[in-house]
Amino acid sequence: MTEYQYTVTAPGRVNLLGEHVDYCNGPVLPAAIDRAVSLRFAPREDERVLISALDLHESVCFSLRELEAKIDIHRQPLPGWAAYPAGVAHVLQHHNLPLRGMNAEFTSDIPIGAGLSSSAAVEVAFAVAWDTLSPWSLDRMTLARYCQEAENRYVGVNCGLMDQFASANGVADHALYFQIHKLHWEPIPMPPDIAIIIADSRMPHSLQTSEYNERRAATEEALHIFQTVMPAVSALVDVSPADFEAHKHLLPAKIAQRAQHVVYECDRVNQAVQALRAGDVAAFGKLMIATHASLRDLYEVSVPEIDFLVDTAISLPGCYGARITGGGFGGCTVNLVAAEQAETFAKELKRRYDQHTPYETEVYVSRASQGAHLLA
């Protein structure tokens, strides 16, 4: 039996507002959730990393000296899930942070591929583990950025910073208002009488599908065109709705559609933060509904099953707002519901979805939770 000295827990996240804007430096409003990766670990004296993925009944052993080749100690390709810890190790070493070998095992109750950042949570858990075993120490923003780098350069998904940021920095009962262009964030209290309800369509999605990277490329194309008339603009977040309306005729139709989503979504996040601060949940909910329409019609990252979940949710008593959350193409919806109606809402949403589709949804009341931390 391996003895594990430490346990770290790293949560998934739900995004309340600010979808598909993080890679345009736009503001986001996620919250860490009460579903997490739990990683037990202990240092080793050699340069090997032995990891058991308990939920998959698989394990892998790789060397910290062979990360570039993405192979295990038997020179076999790393299994897909091992790219996350190996990628984190690779990036940390690339930044001249020496690492120790470790024995580790982990389990997770974040559904995989459901838009709740199960992979970011694995990355953050391992980054915290290496931080714990090392003489160096990273602030949480740098740690999140290195995890994002692992996903971009090692796993090959061109994601933004939101997921790793939220897993690393979550605050219990607060949403996280993260202004990415300033790398500045603050926790905003969630109203106590409101429940965050997550509904899983149980339709698997994969960020690695070309669609995600394709959307990102479209926003970059839009940026380049805006820069021809607005040279000071360094990211789409700098383009206001008025600028967009003035120059949108320069963009090809599809690109204009994608950029319109980003520009107006950035604006919605700032409005939503004001609404939350003022305790105006009704206004917040309306912005969520507008975001969903934009993701469905302009950004085209929703699917009919998810639209059904959203349309049903907003027809039910107590629901302020509902929308798809995360990268899209399946996955989960997030719903803001009056706490006293939460249970009835969850039951009824499940009943209608299960009747309407071949999938069986899981609907649960979630809670904004603390970010990654070591357990005593």
Q: Catalytic residue numbers? A: 163
Contact 170, 11 (CB under 8 A): yes
Burial string for 348-361 (b: 16+ CB within 10 Å, else e) reads bbbebbeeebeeeb
Residue 85 touches ligand GLA, criterion: CB under 6 A: no
Among 11, 170, 285, 326, binds ligand GLA (CB under 6 A): 326
- Judged by CB, which is closer to ligand GLA: 23, or 364? 23
Distance CA 338, CA 26 (A): 29
Residue 22 touches ligand GLA, criterion: CB under 6 A: yes
- Judged by CB, which is closer to ligand GLA: 159, or 342? 159
Cβ at position 3, least distance to ligand GLA in Å: 35
Residue 163 touches ligand GLA, criterion: CB under 6 A: yes
Residue 265 touches ligand GLA, criterion: CB under 6 A: no
Residue 87 touches ligand GLA, criterion: CB under 6 A: no
CB proximity list for 139: less than 8 A, separation 6 or greater: none
Residue 327 touches ligand GLA, criterion: CB under 6 A: yes
- Judged by CB, which is closer to ligand GLA: 128, or 207? 207
DSSP-assigned beta bridge partners for residue 58:
53
Among 111, 160, 330, 371, binds ligand GLA (CB under 6 A): 160
Among 67, 102, 159, 176, binds ligand GLA (CB under 6 A): 159
Cβ at position 321, least distance to ligand GLA in Å: 17
Residue 273 touches ligand GLA, criterion: CB under 6 A: no
Identify the helix (H) or strand (E) that includes residue 243. Answer: helix 241-247
Alpha-carbon separation of residue 220 from 19, 145, 180, 194, 265 (angstroms): 16, 20, 17, 37, 16
Cβ at position 167, least distance to ligand GLA in Å: 11
DSSP codes joined into one string, 139-184: -HHHHHHHHHHHIIIII-----SHHHHHHHH--TTEEEEEEGGGTE
Cβ at position 325, least distance to ligand GLA in Å: 8
- Judged by CB, which is closer to ligand GLA: 127, or 207? 207
Question: Two tokens at 300?
Answer: 């085209």
Among 9, 19, 110, 219, binds ligand GLA (CB under 6 A): 19
Among 14, 20, 53, 199, binds ligand GLA (CB under 6 A): 20
Contact 2, 42 (CB under 8 A): yes
Chain position carrying tokens 């996240």: 13
Distance CA 239, CA 260 (A): 10
- Piece of the chain touching ligand GLA by CB under 6 A; list 154-162, 240-248, 337-345, 353-361: 154-162
Burial string for 114-139 (b: 16+ CB within 10 Å, else e) reads bbbbbbbbbbbbbbbbbbbbeeeebe
Residue 162 touches ligand GLA, criterion: CB under 6 A: yes
Positions in the binding site for ligand GLA (CB under 6 A): 15, 19-20, 22-23, 159-160, 162-163, 207, 326-327
